[in-house]
Structure 1
């Protein structure tokens, strides 16, 4: 009986830690609150795109080559999030992707990197 109670307690603790960890990811960021960034040619915004592709390449392969950011949004929600739509080359073919980046005191963290529909 004690072992069963410990199992339930451990399961509840694990689920609560998982829910807390998921609270800061892009999962909850698609329901509004994004503000458009008008100057997507700004060097900082273009750097966000380059960093997104670089971090994506470290996590997966084959490598992509950054081309440009063509749309960007910002959201302040328990941190500063950037959503950038970008073009990157997969060998010779240009494809469009969306990245969500969280700005932290120690740097930038790529939260998601997904292909955009055609």
Structure 2
């Protein structure tokens, strides 16, 4: 019986230790936000362009995306992208925070929020 207990303990340790010591996995499992390492990634740019286009459509404005400053992702039923981006309306350049929910396997995107960054 002692041998079986040791084997079971070793098996459980091998299964759960990576979860305990991996911050990225722990955040993803808990629904936390994880920084986007490369904000110049084409997919991130595509999400930002979608956010600006959708905001323009909803608010009847004509913002133009200049660049993504920083971003985070959150694993949900799909992925939430929280992006801080710089956009211009022709006369003024401002920073905005956009949140886009994407379910890539369904070709689904939804602009959850789009607000000026204060400060």
TM value normalised by structure 1: 0.69
C-alpha deviation, 1:113, in angstroms:
0.5
Query: What is the CA deviation profile of residues 44-102 of structure 1, one whole-angstrom value per residue up to 9, with x for unaligned ones?
Result: 11111111000000000221111111101000123311101100002221100011101
In the other structure, the counterpart of 2:36 is 37
Q: Which consecutive residues of structure 2, in runs of 5 or more, have no partner in the other structure?
A: 1-30
Counterparts of residues 7-18 of structure 1 (less than 5 Å): none
Q: How do residues 1-118 of structure 1 correspond to structure 2 at under 5 angstroms?
A: 33-104=32-103, 105-118=106-119
Take 1:67 and 1:110, find their aligned partners in 2: how far apart are those partners? 18
* Unaligned runs of at least 5 residues, structure 1: 1-31
SS in 2 for 1:57: helix
* Matched positions, count: 87
Provide the residue aligned with 2:20 in structure 1.
none
* 3-state secondary structure, aligned to 2:32: coil
Q: TM-score, normalised by structure 2?
A: 0.68
Runs ≥4 in structure 1, deviation > 3 angstroms? none
Q: Which residue of 2 aligns with 1:15?
A: none
RMSD: 1.3
From the CA coordinates, give the structure whose radius of gyration is larger: 2
